[in-house]
Amino acid sequence: MTEKTTGHTRRTILKMGVAATTLPLFNINHAWSQDVAFDGKVFDAGGAVLRVGEWGGPWGELVNKYLLTDFQKEFNCKIEYDSTWPWFPKFVAGGAEKPPLDITNWNLPEMFKTAKAGDFFLKLDELLPNVPNAKNLWPFATANGVGVTWAFNQYGYAYRTDLVSPPPSSFKDLWKPEFAGKRGTYITSNTLQMDFFLVACGIFGKDQYDLDAGYEAMKALMPAKISDFTGNMQTLMDRGEVIVAVLDDAEPMQARDKGAPFAFWYWTEQQPILTQTYTISRYAEPMQKKLAFALLDRALDPTFIGNMGKEFYLRPTVSNAVLPDNLAKAGVVNSADAIKGFWVPDWNSYLENEDDIVETVNGIFAS
């Protein structure tokens, strides 16, 4: 490539080089470059606005009830709650230095995708010393290397006990002819579908990287009901339009404990989990960053996790959490070995092939 074709002369290139070397001096003096620390004590934020990315619907109502309402009062701040997922387009639109959110709750695939796209998040070695309750985390909570996982659920099949007999006992059972048109999964942007597809690649093919096997499995799954979120899938199951579906264990356990004819079978061949993971934006303003540390610290408090576990059957990632009765009665334990055998897909590989997977699977679902 010549200087003419690039549009730059040797002189302009040298000027660009000088600018690049002087850029860090500006960064050092910028507000978000200031050192910020949080020691666990309540402070007055002077009415500052903290932008929080979280899920909507009943989830958002309970996060506000159990966490955000009291937090705003104690720290004299205002929460700007954004539930219009997905987050990735919002982050990349403005670039790393103009984050749309200060603290964000993610599922792993989109979080990894965003982390690969730029320097958006504080590194864990910068974050964890400023979150006192992080000392109680089980090691797997930070094993992803990007954010702090504070809770999780496990995947499997939810089914109607009054309409499904015998119950599922293997991953391949969803493909049984009697479930045609009454089985359910999700759009390709939903993490449940991503995990389901990758497990199918391994069960029907050689391993999670055998995409062709996964495509053939999705073709064989049709006809099926394709939902956007788990809440809609639960509605379809309530109406009997879907009688067996890909789900995490939260909604069917809730329904079962309220007397509905629901049960849950955990996949045994592979055991992925649905995680809730917080990140803090590297270039958040100093007060917002300090508030984000404080909010994450409160999210790791056993009281909040216990309340969310009671409502959403979430499993905790902190060692000092006491399980609510609904989880304890279901046989859930809170220990370092509680996630033994759980499987996390190679999300970097998935993201490298995401365009092909999304285009192909969307074509299958639309046919």
273-293 confidence digits (pLDDT tens): 999 999 999 999 999 999 999
Residue 213 tokens, joined: 């096997």
Q: Do the Cβ atoms of 307 and 68 come closer than 8 Å? A: no
Query: Residue 32: which pLDDT band, with cuts at 50, 70 and 90?
Result: low
Beta pairing, strands 315-316 & 148-160: antiparallel
The pLDDT tens digits of the residues spanning 63-90 come to 999 999 999 999 999 999 999 989 999 9
Query: Residue 33: which pLDDT band, with cuts at 50, 70 and 90?
Result: low
Q: Residue 55 to residues 48, 83, 87, 102: CA-CA distances in angstroms?
A: 22, 5, 11, 15
Report how far residue 223's alpha carbon sits from residue 36's, in angstroms, rounded to the nearest whole number.
Answer: 54
In which region does residue 240 sit, left (phi positive, over 0), alpha (psi from -120 to 50) or beta (all else)?
Answer: left
**In the CATH hierarchy, which fold is given to the domain comprising 37-151+274-330?**
D-Maltodextrin-Binding Protein; domain 2 (3.40.190)
Report how far residue 313's alpha carbon sits from residue 119's, in angstroms, rounded to the nearest whole number.
Answer: 33
Nearest residue to 279 (alpha-carbon basis) of 150, 104, 127: 104
Nearest residue to 80 (alpha-carbon basis) of 109, 100, 105, 95: 100
With a pLDDT cut of 90, the percent of the chain lying above it is 84
Nearest residue to 199 (alpha-carbon basis) of 106, 112, 266: 266
In which region does residue 213 sit, left (phi positive, over 0), alpha (psi from -120 to 50) or beta (all else)?
Answer: alpha
The per-residue b/e assignment along 211-244, b for 16 or more CB within 10 angstroms, e otherwise, is: bebbbbbbeebeebbbbebbeebbebbeeeebbb
The pLDDT tens digits of the residues spanning 265-276 come to 999 999 999 999
Residue 297 tokens, joined: 């610290």
* DSSP characters over 343-364: B---HHHHHHTHHHHHHHHHHH
- What is this structure's pTM? 0.85
Mean pLDDT score, 327-333: 91
Q: How far is CA 67 from the centre of its chain?
A: 19
Residue 227 tokens, joined: 């939902």
What is the identity of the amino acid at 324? Answer: P
- More confident site: 34 or 323: 323
Q: Do the Cβ atoms of 274 and 155 come closer than 8 Å? A: yes
The CATH class that applies to domain 153-273+347-366 reads: alpha beta
Which residues belong to CATH 3.40.190.10 in the chain?
37-151+274-330, 153-273+347-366
pLDDT at position 34: 65
